[in-house]
Structure 1
Amino acid sequence: MINRRTLLKSLALGTAALPLGSAFAATTPKAETQFLFSLNTSTIRGQKLSLPEIIELAARAGYDGFEPWMMEIQGYLETGKSLASLKKLASDAGLRFFDCIGFPTWMAQDAAKSETGFVQMEKEMGILAELGCPRVAAPAIGTEAPLDLMQAGEKYKRLLELGRKTGVMPQLEFWGAYPSFYHLGQAMAVAAAADDKDAKILADIYHLFRGGSGFEGMRMLDGHAIDIFHMNDFPADIPRLEQQDKDRVFPGDGAAPIKELSEVLKSKGGEIILSLELFNPTYYAMDAEYVITTGLNKMKRFF
């Protein structure tokens, strides 16, 4: 009868004899995390500035890039200007297109609505590719609860294939107050079901809180799973389920454990984009340059 010590010794020797490609390789040390700072244009939407004006302000404030919404890009094109001119504006200002916010219904359970969403997503990815924007947010617009997470994973896999075709990769996004897709755990399940090396999750401080995810789950995502992270904070004096997008405040001005979260993100390694995304009407009444400069400075307190 083989005793435990003999068995362990045999297993160790057997593993050592395997070809190099047969055993798990030694873990490669992670590169130091590099943070880039982005402005989501929703932060100063109330000031009703044009995209060229936003680009000028973001560059002057010291951002590395920005995150426009598709409706703003379409509005720019409707003035008769071209994608090439918009790309040049950003390039001349030293800003990168980090990501774009759009709302195609690619994940919808209704087959016709889902197909329409894929067609729209491909069209919008083409626009973003011309701008040199490598990412697009992919929320669960058009879905209803309960959501079959395995089926959603199959659709996300298809969307990732479309992303590789166009060069614009979809970032799976969940919203804390959205009935069908509100929790980090759901996003992780869909990403896992896609079984794809390019799967990414776009998380947000407000949405992690509002949907009840909390922040400890972020420890389970390594740097490969996160390209971009939305920065904001939430007030302590409004019950969680009553909070709305408009209640978001500057990072560090609310109750979020941002110092602890910053340590988690710093441990990921690689490049992570921190994008300031606010919808606060109080800030909309302020000078736009003051708002975005203040927001950038408050992010840099932690990163």
Structure 2
Amino acid sequence: MKRRNLIKSIALAPLVLTNTETFAKSQPKAESKIYFCLNTSTIRGQKLTLPEMIETSAKAGFDGMEIWVNEIEAYLASGKSLSSLKTLLEDSKQIPFNAIGFAPWMAQDSEKSKQGFAQMEKEMGMLAAIGCTRVAAPAIGATAPIDVMQSAEKFSQLLELGRKTGVMPQLEFWGSFGPFHSLSQCLSVAVAANDPDAKILPDVYHLYRGGSGYHGLKLLSGDAFDVIHVNDIPSGIDREKLADKDRVYPGDGIAPYQEIADSLTKMGGTKILSLELFNEKYWAEDALSVAKTGLEKTKKFF
């Protein structure tokens, strides 16, 4: 290159960079698409049937539900079918966003893990039949310390099973479960799986209970997760002594909800806010009132 042309190229470089940056800044990032979901645990204590839970969720104004696998099994045991459950959900305009199951797929014991995968495949088949495209995949069966690469290999196999059935596993961690209790552990396994369909399932309570905190959410892209369990942490209880039953409505505790909401809204992608509570005080109240209250309190931030 002639010296004259080289100098000319260098002179133009800042202008090109400036124009590129200006263009990039002029393209606003799309905000997250928010859906409101009722996890059936929130109204479990009222002893409703699954059809009654679906009716309650619809009347309260939720977009859909997060149903537990054992509730589907109880529905089937009553003589009803998966096709009738799918019809009921469709007629009620309730999307089955996700399901909760407890198959020991991550167990280090090979035989137990094999049983866990068989259980997951069976449950995924049931969920596919009702139009549910996701299932929680907590680290059931794992013992400390977990091997990240070994767990990632199992998660990769589970993702393959998800593609086969059409029901994708969402890798979940629990704050009080020693072997797999933090956001960093969950992300390590998900990243090591090196799979385009890998997603995690965070929970406001578990982020606090396991010591992860909430700043890590700002480091995640919109593709990192679809579903997040929303709830809050009551004041006055030591973190290590908190239990699931202590969870309260979003905004009624010490979690920095506006900060969390801002992170989730700006993150992009699909964000399904699933109200998951196990509060016995709420279970003693009217189910519809609890569902409506939980939705109203969540919507204050979103």
Structure 1 residue aligned with 2:102: 103
**Shift of residue 179, structure 1, vs aligned partner:** 1.2
**Shift of residue 299, structure 1, vs aligned partner:** 0.4
Structure 2 residue aligned with 1:244: 243
**Shift of residue 30, structure 1, vs aligned partner:** 3.5
Partner secondary structure for residue 87 of structure 1: helix
Structure 2 CA distance for aligned equivalents of residues 214 and 100 of structure 1 = 25
Query: In the comparison of the two structures, how many residue pairs are matched?
Result: 284
Structure 2 CA distance for aligned equivalents of residues 247 and 70 of structure 1 = 23
**Shift of residue 46, structure 1, vs aligned partner:** 0.4
**Shift of residue 150, structure 1, vs aligned partner:** 1.3
Query: 1:176-205 CA distances to partner (integer Å, 9 max, x unpaired)?
Result: 000100000000000011000111010000
Contact residue 234 and residue 255 of structure 1 kept, 8 A: yes
Structure 2 residue aligned with 1:88: 87
Structure 2 CA distance for aligned equivalents of residues 100 and 151 of structure 1 = 25
Query: 1:238-266 CA distances to partner (integer Å, 9 max, x unpaired)?
Result: 00000000000000000000100100001
Structure 2 CA distance for aligned equivalents of residues 286 and 237 of structure 1 = 24
Structure 1 residue aligned with 2:194: 195
Partner secondary structure for residue 142 of structure 2: coil
Partner secondary structure for residue 68 of structure 1: strand
One-letter code of the match for 1:58?
Answer: S
Structure 1 CA distance for aligned equivalents of residues 247 and 259 of structure 2 = 19
One-letter code of the match for 1:191?
Answer: A
Structure-to-structure mapping, 1:1-303, within 5 angstroms:
30-303=29-302
Deviates more, 1:133-142 or 1:264-273: 264-273
Contact residue 259 and residue 302 of structure 1 kept, 8 A: yes
Structure 2 CA distance for aligned equivalents of residues 32 and 282 of structure 1 = 35
Partner secondary structure for residue 175 of structure 2: coil
Contact residue 202 and residue 229 of structure 1 kept, 8 A: yes
Structure 1 CA distance for aligned equivalents of residues 114 and 220 of structure 2 = 30
Partner secondary structure for residue 113 of structure 2: helix
**Shift of residue 29, structure 1, vs aligned partner:** 5.5
Structure 2 CA distance for aligned equivalents of residues 149 and 186 of structure 1 = 8
One-letter code of the match for 2:299?
Answer: K
Structure 1 residue aligned with 2:20: none
Partner secondary structure for residue 223 of structure 2: helix
Query: 1:145-167 CA distances to partner (integer Å, 9 max, x unpaired)?
Result: 11111110111011001101110
One-letter code of the match for 1:184?
Answer: L
Structure 1 CA distance for aligned equivalents of residues 80 and 273 of structure 2 = 29
**Shift of residue 75, structure 1, vs aligned partner:** 0.2
Query: 1:211-244 CA distances to partner (integer Å, 9 max, x unpaired)?
Result: 0000011112111111101000001100000000
Structure 2 CA distance for aligned equivalents of residues 284 and 57 of structure 1 = 14
Between the aligned residues of both structures, percent identity stands at 59
Contact residue 210 and residue 243 of structure 1 kept, 8 A: yes
Contact residue 67 and residue 275 of structure 1 kept, 8 A: yes
Structure 1 CA distance for aligned equivalents of residues 148 and 262 of structure 2 = 30
**Shift of residue 119, structure 1, vs aligned partner:** 0.5
Partner secondary structure for residue 252 of structure 1: coil
One-letter code of the match for 2:75?
Answer: Y
Contact residue 251 and residue 298 of structure 1 kept, 8 A: yes
**Shift of residue 270, structure 1, vs aligned partner:** 2.1
Write out the 4+ residue segments of structure 1 that deviate beyond 6 Å after TM superposition: none
Query: 1:124-171 CA distances to partner (integer Å, 9 max, x unpaired)?
Result: 000000010000000001111111111101110110011011100000
Contact residue 30 and residue 270 of structure 1 kept, 8 A: no
One-letter code of the match for 2:285?
Answer: M
Structure 1 CA distance for aligned equivalents of residues 48 and 205 of structure 2 = 25
One-letter code of the match for 1:125?
Answer: M
* Unaligned residue ranges in structure 2 (runs of 5+): 1-5, 17-23
Q: TM-score with structure 2 length normalisation?
A: 0.91
Partner secondary structure for residue 100 of structure 1: strand
Q: TM-score with structure 1 length normalisation?
A: 0.91
* Unaligned residue ranges in structure 1 (runs of 5+): 1-5, 17-25
**Shift of residue 31, structure 1, vs aligned partner:** 2.4
One-letter code of the match for 2:280?
Answer: P
